[in-house]
Structure 1
């Protein structure tokens, strides 16, 4: 058998393998404590979306980022709906994570004024994250 006859089937097999891609991993959007606990697969993205109004001086602060099971994909991103047209109106804060290791942990955020850590938070978000 010649080298060309051996390389042709091998080349076709490699092309076929490259054409098959893993299905897109569904992004999980977590917006309420009632959606907890959350189960994720390793590699699955998670968006945490919480109502926020920094003009009041309050911010969501990560108290426990569940770093043993989640990897942060960047800093918090605040957005204000442009349709309101009202300065100081509430918006939302978004954190993006990716499940990195199988296990279980708590993702905990507190809503408070960053310059007054001794004052109890006005709200706490505590969610069990399970990664399989």
Structure 2
């Protein structure tokens, strides 16, 4: 019975520490720009998922990746739902970033056909980022 007491104290300490830690991952999707400006804590991961259909020629282009405060954790990953079963069906483009430098930055992506230089983007994702 005495051995259980140190374990319960350790468990309480771990729970208290976890309660004070920010959520490790923040996920943003297209309709969530109202969450911007977005405040992150150093060490948090930001996952941005936007609807995409490259078969139409449209691509998301990262115009500003907030390099002052974010570090990219890899290239864009495109996924198409397996149950769609449609050739040319839309999917999701996803980017992952690590908030690693305190300060302010700007995350800006545009959805356009890259060869149409004089045409306004079909969509824009614009979010001010603050890292504490």
Residue equivalent to 1:48 = 48
Residue equivalent to 1:103 = 103
1:59-74 matches, cutoff 5 A: 59-74=59-74
1:1-132 matches, cutoff 5 A: 23=18, 25-31=23-29, 32-132=32-132
Shift of 1:74: 0.4
Shift of 1:129: 0.6
TM-score by length of 2: 0.79
The separation in 1 between residues aligned to 2:62 and 2:53, in whole angstroms, is: 16
Gaps of 5+ in 1: 1-19
The separation in 2 between residues aligned to 1:57 and 1:33, in whole angstroms, is: 24
1:33 counterpart SS class: helix
The separation in 1 between residues aligned to 2:50 and 2:117, in whole angstroms, is: 20
Contact 2:24 2:43 (8 Å CA) reproduced: no
Superposed CA RMSD in Å reads 1.7
- What number of residue pairs does the alignment pair up? 113
1:55 counterpart SS class: helix
Gaps of 5+ in 2: 1-13
